[in-house]
Structure 1
Amino acid sequence: MRPHTPSHRRTAPRTRRRLALGLAGALTAAGALTVTAQAAPGEDAPAAAPSGASGPYLYLGWGNPPDAAAFMAETGTEQLTMAFILSDGGCSPAWDGQRPLEGGQDQQTIEAIQAAGGDVTPSIGGWSGNKLGEACGSAEELAGAYQQVIDAYGLDSIDIDIEASEVESEEVRQRVIDALKIVKDRNEGIKVYVTFGTAPSGPIEPGQDLINKGAAAGLDVDGWTVMPFDFGDGTTDMAAATKSAVDGLAGRVADAYGISEAEAYAKSGFSSMNGHTDVEGEVVSAADFLEMVDYAKEHNLARVSFWAVNRDRACEGGGSPGDSCSGIDQQEWEFSKILAGYGS
């Protein structure tokens, strides 16, 4: 994902108080709201989604981000992915490489989400800025940086969004895999997602290598996640391209780990982009995204997300897409409502 601008053991993952909603909605392609009632007295409540399974990206760096708690209440969203954790110039994590983990707006937002019963997955990396995978000199040091993020907020999941020069280096790819193995070993129950680019047919060479290295290291990644957009090849059917990309991803995961197709899909996922992408003429409509989420449900995918909540609304006066709007005809928070409750 990209903005348009630039040791100890936890004995168990922290249990969150889940947001109690009377209605959970999902928009159909026609815009109608399908509602599911909360469990009646005496019935079992719906199971909470695994941490990180369905958190759209929220970025505080631009684009008029919504108040997180109000957004959750309006849309039924229970999970958010917060972007981006980068290097502060050395092997220490900071929001956008500048803001400390504690004491600022980022911590306040995370605490507000958690107080509302929500779940937060920080995204470490992204397209721009200095990456921890490159700044840290060893896997142990990198794992320590990841651990700082986990400990700062009592997290149940992290997302490693590995792009640009970080993903292009084989040495750094190995360091990231080895660091995540350390994190997994030290944090019982932690969910780890690894997000990277793709072709419509599935992961390209760096992504393939990450999966192979993960399997060789015995790293149990909870969701290998591709970003099926910015193809630059004239792709117009983004739903079909997303499905084929994830099919290719699941095949790679199955082969590398020696697991069944069904098991591989359950370790795979995607993170789309709502509305106009960064490539001229490439558009993900709400109908496309609904089709993608239906596909994800059919295949029991580990993670579904999109970039970004900030853009999940039409542009005022039909303006150009950007940091705060999608550039398509849509209802406010339409993509978020489609995704809400996924994995529960």
Structure 2
Amino acid sequence: MKTNPKRLGVLGALTAALLAAGGTLGATAMEVSGPRAAAPQGAVEKLAGAPYLYLGWGDPQDATTVMSKTGVSAFTMAFMLSSGGCTPAWDGQRPLTGGVDERTIDAIKAAGGQVQISFGGWSGNKLGPSCSSPEEFAGAVQQVIDAHGPDVVDFDIENTDELEDYAVQDRILQGIAIVKENNPGVQAVVTIPTSISGPGGAGARLVTRAAELGTPIDNYTVMTFDFGGSDMVADTISAARGLKDQLKAAHGWSDAEAYAHTGISGMNGVSDVGEITTPEQWTQIRDWANENGLTRFAYWAVNRDRGCEGGGVTSSCSGIAQEDLAFTRITAGF
């Protein structure tokens, strides 16, 4: 049975464990000192709750049916990868246009919905290492924007090839700046792993480095799962507060400004390391995010938003007793 592709394999578990423990990674020559560039200021657009929908995995739910049943108006479509070199393709193998992904995006838009497109994730060949320069990386992203017109581009930077290789991390951050310059109406999000106290190691470095480079990132989202939590409400809030404090330190923002650049991406039901998030807990997390002015709210994944019990993580259900589409209905309330 195929497991969660965002956290596939032993290496992924070891990486998550290191970050959860607050481990650090050695600096490289790509890290430079010097004054930080001015951080982007101004109002940040609150994004509609947008759970991940992955058409290359398990038994994906029909997007427009989900919209009509739950009231959700946006999806984060996963994952845009490399099909060889710096050429983007859905899941690294489905065509950029003309396939099920394009048909789904067109249907979502026709139904009045919005689309976020996620680059990266855990498994597969990433564009960050495959593109040779920030300009080439930005060009690959531009192909996707031109093809699908997303409201948001989400850079899910968690695999060691992108997160822990600081030359690649810098390439992505510099590429995002080019993308934003060329597409000021498209929101740029980075999604990164976290410990219960906030991003650690390479994730913390990304937050600081983005500020140093002046990369205009609209939202930093922490993946609040696979960090060994015991109380998923308290631990998720703790992780988000940790990110908020890092953003304050990096940019000189107030609490409100930092929260306005913060997002949460959870995992419904049973996580890869056995944590359990129930619909009741997800509601509490959503309400806290709304009350504190966070601007992105997502979870992995709509594919799993069905009830089942036992058997651990599967591609088509949450591993807990729940009403079908319960997490999506809750997310629609963000």
TM-score, normalised relative to structure 1: 0.83
Residue in 2 aligned with 1:294?
287
What is the number of residues matched between the two proteins?
296
Pairing 1:242–2:206 present: no
Corresponding residue of 1:332? 324
Q: Residues of 2 paired with 1:158 and 1:146: CA distance?
A: 8
Q: Cα distance, 1:61 vs. partner? A: 1.2
Q: 1:3 to 1:208 in 2, by over 3 A?
A: closer
Runs of 5+ in structure 1 lacking a partner?
7-48
Q: Over residues 284-336 of structure 1, what are the superposed CA-to-partner deviations in whole Å (9 max), with x where a residue is unaligned?
A: 11111111101101111011100000101112x76554100001111110011
Mapped partners of 2:46, 2:93: distance in 1: 26
Distance in 2 (alpha carbons) for counterparts of 1:67 and 1:321: 21
How many Å apart are 1:220 and its aligned residue? 2.0
**Displacement after TM superposition at 1:59 (Å):** 0.6
SS in 1 for 2:177: helix
More helix by share: 2
SS at match of 1:172: helix
Q: 1:172 to 1:150 in 2, by over 3 A?
A: same
Distance 1:55 1:249 in 2: 20
Aligned-partner residue type, residue 245 of structure 1: A
Q: Give the TM-score taking structure 2 as reference length.
A: 0.85
Q: Which residue of 2 aligns with 1:174?
A: 170
Give the one of 156, 169, 172 matched to 1:161.
156
User: Is 1:260 matched up with 2:263?
Assistant: no
- TM-superposed deviation, 1:53: 3.9
Distance across 2 between alignment mates of 1:333 and 1:200: 27
Which residue matches 2:276? 283
Do structure 1's residue 149 and structure 2's residue 144 form an aligned pair?
Answer: yes
Note the alpha carbon deviations across 1:161-197, whole angstroms, 9 max, x for none.
0112211111111111100000111112210110010
Say whether the 8 Å CA contact 2:191–2:222 is kept in structure 1: yes
Structure 1 residue 210 corresponds to structure 2 residue 193:
no
1:190 matched to which residue of 2? 186
What per-residue deviation string (whole Å, max 9, x for no partner) do you get for residues 126-145 of structure 1?
A: 00011100000000000001
1:123-138 correspondence runs (5 A): 123-138=118-133
**Gaps (5+ residues) in structure 2?**
10-43
2 CA distance for matches of 1:87 and 1:139?
15
Aligned partners of 1:72, 1:101: CA distance in 2, in Å? 24
Q: How does 1:55-74 map to 2 (within 5 A)?
A: 55-74=50-69
TM-aligned CA deviation for residue 108 of structure 1: 0.4
Task: Give 2:221's aligned residue.
Answer: 225
| CA RMSD of superposed structures (Å) | 1.7
Question: Is 287-296 or 207-216 further displaced after alignment?
Answer: 207-216
| Residues in 2 aligned to 1:139 and 1:207: alpha-carbon distance in whole angstroms | 19
Per-residue displacement from partner, 1:76-116 (whole Å, max 9, x unpaired)?
01000000000112101101101111010110011010110
Q: Give CA-to-partner distance per residue, 1:255-284, whole Å, 9 cap, x none.
A: 10111111000001110000000003x111
% same residue? 51
Which secondary structure does the structure 2 equivalent of 1:295 belong to?
helix
Deviation at 1:64, TM superposition (A): 1.2
Counterpart Cα distance in 1 of 2:124 and 2:310: 31
